[in-house]
Structure formats: C-alpha cells, structure tokens
Structure 1
C-alpha cells in the first residue's frame, strides 16, 4: 500500500486520545476524529468547541 508523501500524520495514539478526552470531555473516538480532521495542534481547541456546541 502506497503512502501519501508530504501529508502530516494527524492520528492520535490511544494515550493521546485518552488525555484529550479527559481534559475536554469528548470521547476518545471523537478526539481521534477531530485530530484527523483538524490536525493535532488544533484538536484540543476544536474538542472544546465541539462540546460547547453539543
């Protein structure tokens, strides 16, 4: 399987997802989904917005 060159790896490890989930009150799956969509750097901010909207 070929990999995409130049694309950042925005996947969170299980440990990172659990930490984000605990600090922002989203589920670990939601944390991983947000990181893939917005990138690791913006995942925490987006997780806070995600829970505020819901």
Structure 2
C-alpha cells in the first residue's frame, strides 16, 4: 500500500482564532475556508478578504 496524503483540512479553534485576528474573517469563516481550500490556501483566501475589504 502507498501512503496518500490526508484530505482532512480541518483546523483547530486556536488556529482559526489566530487567522481571524490577523484578517477580517470570523473564526468560523477561517475554518470554512480551510475546509474548502486546504489549510495554507484557506489562510491565503482569508488574507485576500482582508485586502479587498
């Protein structure tokens, strides 16, 4: 068997709060973005929201 990367993109409450404090998204929005785009890309999307706002 080969190891495949996990598709679990959930982030912790603490990490969601950190992203929310650095951007203009709520902790729940940060979690949703990470779930939809992956952890790193979700954080980039949150920063885009801050730049657009």
Q: So what's the TM-score if we normalise by structure 2?
A: 0.76
2:41 corresponds in structure 1 to 42
Q: Tell me, which stretches of 5 or more residues in structure 2 are unaligned?
A: none
**Moved >6 Å (runs of 4+):** none
CA RMSD of aligned residues (A): 1.9
Separation in structure 2 between the aligned mates of residue 36 and residue 53 of structure 1, nearest angstrom: 21
> Retained in 1: the 8 A contact 2:23–2:49?
no
- Alignment: residue pair count: 50
Q: Tell me, which stretches of 5 or more residues in structure 1 are unaligned?
A: none
> Retained in 1: the 8 A contact 2:24–2:49?
no
2:24 corresponds in structure 1 to 25
